[in-house]
Amino acid sequence: MRDYGYLRIMACSPRVRVADVRFNCETITEAIEAADAARAALVVFPELSLTGYTCGDLFGQNLLIDKAEEAAKEIVRVSRAKAVTIVVGVPVRFGGHLYNCAAVIRNGRLKGLVPKIYLPTYNEFYEGRWFASGAAFLGSPETVKYAGQTCVLAPAQLFSIGKASFAVELCEDLWTPVPPSSCHALAGAEVIVNLSASNEVLLKHSYRRSLVAGQSARTVSAYVYCGAGYGESTQDVVFAGSSFICENGTFLAENERFRMDGSSVVADVDIEKLTVLRQKENTFQAILPDGVIDPTLVGQQLSLLLFVNANALIVNIDGHGDIPEGGMEITVTDAELDILSGKMQMKLQGSLLCTAPLTVQITRSSTGLEDEFCCAGNCLSGNGETAQTLNYSPEGIASWFVHYTPVADSNETMTYVFTDASESRTLTVHFQYSTEGMDNGQWTKNNGQWTKVLRDGQLYLMHKGQMYDVQGKEINK
């Protein structure tokens, strides 16, 4: 199909029952099916939509938080084999704190968790009573295990859908003097999504619309705002499910508020138009108080954008052996590089189909190899061992992934032997990589070897005399 540069987006405000996670998960699942049928590339749900925003002190109950994680796992399962990317609100427990997060999900993978930075604790809002701010992760993203998968927990993340990039902020983040979306847009996000639970008071709706239109125009972006609706109005506040999609300050779609059965809006956003407008506007940048011109505004944005040239890593994925009929099948679906937190990681994602108990034997060529193998929530880390065994009793199709951190100037191999215990059939998957000749400075930007260069209003990176764009592609000077 020809690509005309558009991205179809849906904002969905479904009916919600406060603290009834199963009901909320079912309504969200139905909406995901509808979004996929409508050929939407991105569907956005309101803030804390899996639990309901107005749970109050129920957020202190482990049962609610555990059920929300189970529901998130179900959403991940439902997303398999679908083309739509899902952004849903969920509470996430980590490090003794609870975070108000957006979960980004696509094709059976939890791509990332974005925590809310600004927590309103004034007037009718009490978020500081239950949640912690995600600001702590701005300079130091965390890798967390959630809903049976491993992903990054951090506010400063960009996600890709084809040629388009999007970022997430949550409700109050937009109402601040410097919204996170300003940084996201300068870092390259053409689309901003906002998961919200903004209530209704006199004239607030018109003010909310002006905020969205102004931020969309200021950042030359498409802004997707999705507000909580019917079912949240259970205490001293009223929610109308206000949702709209705005492109460069112009509203493309807006729903009908105060619907009892939920509502959604769909619009086709012109990504290519936004890109051209940003190229034309030489003021699309930020000048800091000290006079430094910095398109990213905050340094940590850069580490989420910079991808090492894939040619620097040699990866051979070789599956061999007999695949049992109707039994076990391994599929490698994704391989990517990033340097979050100053480390380069290789990520391999796949699916596992097995109808009988399974044994996974892992061998490594080096005790110093840092890796982790997970299957359906069961994980094994390297821990300095060259051989380990994982027993797994599957229930249908399970996702599996391998994350490992290559060491500079080395050759390493890992082998995974999957054995069907009942049939004694095996399938071997072999991974090999080489980083010979690559020094550690090649992988990180914080050691002074990467230099930011601004040319014609665009950000580039200079390393050892070679210029790169923020995706790691070499640029001719």
Active site residue ranges: 47, 116, 171
Produce one character per residue of 114-148: b if its CB has 16 or more CB atoms within 10 Å, e if not. bbbbbbbeeeebebeebbbbbebbbeebbebebbb
144 with 133: CB under 8 angstroms? no
d(CA 217, CA 112): 27
| Paired tokens of 95 | 């490090």
118 with 80: CB under 8 angstroms? no
* CB-neighbour burial class of residue 209 (10 A; exposed 0-12, middle 13-18, buried 19+): middle
**Which residues are registered as beta bridge partners of 474?**
468
453 with 295: CB under 8 angstroms? no
DSSP code of 80? Answer: T
Q: Specify the 3-state DSSP secondary structure of 237.
A: coil
Q: What share of the chain is helix, strand, coil (3-state, %, to 5)?
A: 20, 40, 40
Phi (first) and psi of residue 455, to 5 degrees: -135, 120
Going by C-alpha positions, the residue among 241, 164, 177, 237 that lies closest to residue 211 is: 177
200 with 239: CB under 8 angstroms? yes
**Which residues are registered as beta bridge partners of 161?**
164
296 with 183: CB under 8 angstroms? yes
Type of residue found at 28: I
